[in-house]
Amino acid sequence: MSVMVAEGIFPFADDDLPVETAPRVGDGVIVVDERARISFASPNAVSALHRIGIVSAIQGTTLGALGLETSVVHASFATRLPVVEEIERRSDTTLLLRSIPLLARGELTGALVLVRDVTDVRRRDRLLLTKDATIREVHHRVKNNLQTISSLLRLQARRIEEPEGKSALAEAERR
């Protein structure tokens, strides 16, 4: 990475990934070589992998051998740009993987895979969508009820004979 910074190729100019996927201090770090074999895993990365059920030693193995999708690493190798992918396991844990290719003098030497547990964020997103749907349903029902009341007031206004009553019902309908 320091070689890439010195050569002026990091940060990537073409990196147009969303801000919410940008690297954070608490991200776990996995370093893989050009064959996608893990050479280093930080404690945060190991902890995140434990949350999705990977408890075996990971150094020296590949992400594929651990049962993880390797497409994020292979895509970053192919494009030589950062690639982000989410994986969900056991329907209760979601990890965000960001693969940053490591280049030395234009040659691919491996990748830095940043691992973040985004389970709480995704749970809140789903909860927000549920609440939004509930609010839309309540709004729809209130609108239908107001239309029903307006129709009943118009119907009553047609039946009544006194002009004061008609004007009062017309006023109530406008409200």
**Contact (Cβ atoms closer than 8 angstroms) between residue 126 and residue 88:** no
pLDDT (tens, 9 = 90+) of the chain, 175 residues, equals: 655 554 555 556 556 666 566 666 678 999 999 888 999 999 999 988 888 888 888 888 888 888 777 788 888 888 888 888 888 876 688 888 898 898 888 788 889 999 988 888 778 888 888 999 999 999 999 999 999 988 888 888 888 888 888 888 888 877 7
Q: How confident is the model at residue 1, as a pLDDT?
A: 60
CATH number at residue 43: 3.30.450.20
Q: How confident is the model at residue 160, as a pLDDT?
A: 86
Sheet architecture: strand order including 38-41: 38-41, 28-33, 107-117, 93-104, 83-89
Q: Which residue has the tokens 């992918």?
A: 85
Q: How confident is the model at residue 9, as a pLDDT?
A: 56
Buried residues in 116-147 as b, exposed as e (16+ CB within 10 A): bbbbeebeeeeeeeeeeeeeeeeeeeeeeeee
Q: How confident is the model at residue 2, as a pLDDT?
A: 54
Same domain, 69 and 89: yes
Same domain, 47 and 24: yes
Peptide bond into 11 cis (omega under 30): yes
DSSP character for 97? E
Same domain, 47 and 110: yes
Q: How confident is the model at residue 23, as a pLDDT?
A: 65
Q: The domain containing residue 103 runs over which residues? A: 2-117
Q: How confident is the model at residue 91, as a pLDDT?
A: 67
Same domain, 80 and 149: no
Q: How confident is the model at residue 139, as a pLDDT?
A: 94
Instruction: Please count the structural domains in the chain.
Output: 2
Same domain, 91 and 40: yes
Largest Cα separation within the chain, whole Å, is 93
Q: How confident is the model at residue 43, as a pLDDT?
A: 92
